[in-house]
Structure 1
């Protein structure tokens, strides 16, 4: 058996055409992309996503490791830590049923895949600046569009097809000759024996609906193009320096030290006065009673988003001052760091005030998905502010990667927390004391909430319990639909088992 012919050399650029990049092993990459396209279409073209998504991501990463070889893996090792969060968020698609988490996990996986493709051959993720992560994502997403035509150009050997044109022509003529003969003999033999006819009918019973064939073909082509773009971008030959190959260059300071110090002291004075009022009322005084002139809801809600915006703007202000302020002596550097560190500390108090206001509102009116996600966002913002204070004194160039890791950690915290289960359990606990439950909010929740609803329905009053029972019946109807293996999801499995434990319905529930 003769070995496969070697991959063709990159063809010359045709005048008038845009230049196309060079890709290592184009035939192997093209074959892997087509296989991944079929694999993704089979697993992801479903009513709901589940186990199929992490399998597709694992297949894509496996194809990248196979095509890159040992040398490629050695180069990718400094950035291999990206595989850990990528694997976790991909697996959580098969664990959580919440549509909010599904969107968040898929988007996070896309960002991590773009970073992994960009840094597979060289560079370091931690060398990026804060805007570098955004630039790498969008530039990688744009550049992968050019790799499918590159693989089609270099992976298909048209000269080889011309060489074997006689053989291909003979095969085509033989096929055209064979099919009509088989059709005639098959019809005659089927008419002669009913058992043979029915067996042959079952074997050949498949749907050739044109719409299905076209949609499947488009799905395979789209998935193959995405796979080709990611693989081609990761295995590209780097001709020039790219983002992440070197540390971000320091900007030329343009703001005087005196001007920056005046701004820092003025903002710190304002923040100190505001923080003193917040501590006096929210953390020391009686925050459970409304401020005179405001209802409880108005005070808890008023200014919440403004405080969050102030915290975010302060982070941006500290970053801008650090980048653009001239600090020519060691004393100036120390004074600047102390002033901006104090600004961060006061901002953390303001952020804690916003979180306290939201907590008071939740204690009075219950939890929702938006409120819980906002809590996690504010926690991530607080962690980024604290890390900014640390990097003012130690390795300032590592703030960006710390902020990026904080964002990844917030996504994982939401997944591990299981927001819908958390919300239902807390709201049912409150309803047991207040005899008031927002059932309308519960109708928007997914199968993630079913075990908590089953566990807590017995503690509710008659009216609320009846509404929750109706809601569980709706979940039971939805979950009674059979799922294929690519659609398997842990939360939906646990929800079915929780419904089965109640024994309240005689209709079978698909476990």
Structure 2
């Protein structure tokens, strides 16, 4: 949701050709919130100038109206029982009144964001020009660290290749770990390594001023570093795949897998942009837009992939013995998982689906605000096979935390 908000903010702002414009566009809606009261108060100030009024007189008029209605309404209610019953019905607060504060708060938030979007959209687009902060430094300042990093990364990649071909026997002999424990460890650290490499590439390409052959040397060192990092990402994906093959997907594992794929695609963009910049002597101005397009496409692809459905499907696939299913974890999934969980045998199916249906409000009629395709399919699945009235869920075996 946060990524979608940033992409919408960037699309409304229209500024994203350079890195500075991209960063400013991502937070343009937030930056437009402080001047919003002044912007929205303009029509009110104009109306006040046209029709000046005294606030004290308005308050007095409201108080007099309420007093007269209260006195005469009470007299009429005591004089006629039918009128009294209608008045009692009229003054009884409706049931939906309890939800008004929360809905009003959400309305104010979305209204403020919509007004901020209008303010940003009406503002003329001025592409900011980032200052040139590149420094002319000696070759040893940047070449020595990059060569050392490449050697370290190459050594790590070589170890990963030997483990890949040696399998569990080599891991057990050299590290004293089982293959499952080895696969479980390390892929988070490898993700952090890839993010740090992106920072190193950004600093080297953005702050170091090079000319002539030094441009080619810097580009080759950074390109080799990116290629080695992509191999490391492949190793992280392999480790994660070994673990998910044994224990199935969870939301965290699905998100990590998607992040690995996105980072690999980012490195491809960086390599291509670096090659274009080197051959055409440009500044890689299209890389920010390409990164935004890649991120948006990745979010859409991740939503279409339907992570909750994949989590449920893989959990059922790897847990061949039904008693090993973690019912507590499955209950936390969204209605997107119901088409896969519908294959569970009774009474486990009812015990899992009833908690999901209760949390998603599937028993209530769908409104235009709450409707989506996943909830519609979940309602259809439950309607086709109604839940058991008495499932006896307390007696079912499960292993809490097994999915994690």
- Shorter-chain TM band: 0.7 to 0.9
User: 1:286 corresponds to which residue?
Assistant: 167
Q: Aligned-pair distance for 1:179?
A: 9.3
Return the match for 1:481 from 348, 357, 364. 364
SS, match of residue 486 in structure 1: coil
Q: 2:324 aligned to 411, 433, 436, which one? A: 436
Question: Structure 1: 5+ residue runs without aligned partners?
Answer: 1-104, 459-464
Cα shift at 1:391: 0.7
- Could you report, residue by residue, the CA deviation over 1:393-441 in whole angstroms, capped at 9, with x for unpaired residues? 1142322232233322332222111101011111211223797333332
What are the within-5 Å matches in structure 2 for residues 303-342 of structure 1? 303-329=186-212, 331-342=213-224
Contact 1:255-1:324 at 8 Å conserved across structures: no
Counterpart of 2:119 in structure 1 is 232
In the alignment, what sits opposite 1:391? 273
Name which of 13, 18, 41 aligns with 1:118.
13
Displacement of 1:388: 0.6
Does the 8 Å contact 2:335/2:378 carry over to 1? yes
1:376 paired residue among 253, 258, 264: 258
**8 Å contact 1:144–1:230 — kept in the other structure?**
no
CA distance in structure 1 between the aligned counterparts of 2:171 and 2:325, rounded to whole angstroms: 23
In 1, are the aligned partners of 2:341 and 2:349 still within 8 Å (CA)? yes
Cα distance in 1 for partners of 2:3, 2:300 equals: 10
Counterpart of 1:272 (choices 145, 154, 166) is 154
Instruction: Tell me the alpha carbon deviations over residues 90-116 of structure 1, each in whole angstroms, 9 at most, x when there is no partner.
Output: xxxxxxxxxxxxxxx2x2343234324
Q: TM-score, normalised by structure 2?
A: 0.78
| SS at structure 1 position matched to 2:172 | coil
| Superposed displacement of residue 232, structure 1 | 2.7
SS at match of 1:144: coil
2:178 to 295, 306, 316: 295
Q: Quick one: distance in 2 between partners of 1:245 and 1:431? A: 55
Task: Tell me whether 1:497 sits opposite 2:392 in the alignment.
Answer: no
Aligned equivalent of 1:260: 142
Out of 141, 146, 160, which is 2:30 matched to? 141
- Relative CO higher for 1 or 2, CA cutoff 8 Å, sep ≥ 6? 1
**Partner in structure 1 of residue 400 of structure 2:** none
Displacement after TM superposition at 1:277 (Å): 2.1
Question: Is the Cα–Cα contact under 8 Å of residues 368 and 441 in structure 1 kept in the other structure?
Answer: no
Distance 1:467 1:212 in 2: 34
For 1:178 and 1:382, locate their aligned partners in 2 and report how far apart those are by CA, in whole Å: 68
Query: What is the TM-score normalised by the length of structure 1?
Result: 0.63
Q: Which residue of the partner structure matches residue 451 of structure 1?
A: 339
Give the Cα–Cα distance (whole angstroms) in 2 for the partners of residues 210 and 500 of structure 1. 31
Return the offset for 1:332: 2.7
Question: Within 1, Cα distance between the matches of 2:309 and 2:275?
Answer: 41
Q: CA 1:287/1:372 → structure 2, altered by over 3 Å: closer, same or farther?
A: farther
Q: Secondary structure at the match of 1:307?
A: helix
Q: Return the offset for 1:445.
A: 0.8
Q: Is the 8 A contact 1:275 1:346 kept in 2?
A: yes
1:415 to 298, 303, 313: 303
Distance 1:433 1:189 in 2: 70
Cα 1:490/1:209, change in 2 over 3 Å: closer
- Residues 481 and 212 of structure 1: CA distance in aligned 2, closer, same or farther (over 3 Å): closer
Alpha carbons of structure 1 residues 288 and 473: separation in structure 2 relative to 1, 3 Å = farther
CA spacing shift, 1:447–1:410, aligned 2, 3 Å: same
CA RMSD of aligned residues (A): 3.9
For 1:373 and 1:209, locate their aligned partners in 2 and report how far apart those are by CA, in whole Å: 38
CA 1:209–1:449: 2 relative to 1, 3 Å = closer
Q: Rate the CA distance shift 1:175–1:425 in 2: closer, same or farther, 3 A.
A: same
Q: Comparing 319-328 with 443-452, which one deviates more in the overlay?
A: 319-328
The corresponding residue for 1:30 is: none
How many residue pairs get aligned? The number is: 379
Note if 1:365 corresponds to 2:252. Answer: no
Q: Report the Cα offset of residue 343 of structure 1.
A: 1.4
Cα shift readout 1:202-244 (whole Å, capped 9, x = no counterpart): 6776559998776666655555444333323432468xxx5x3
CA distance 1:186–1:440, change in 2 (3 Å) = closer
Q: C-alpha distance in 2, partners of 1:176/1:140?
A: 44
- 8 Å CA contact 1:118, 1:136 repeated in 2: yes
**In 2, Cα distance between the equivalents of 1:403 and 1:256?**
31
SS in 2 for 1:255: coil
Of 31, 49, 64, the residue aligned with 1:159 is 49
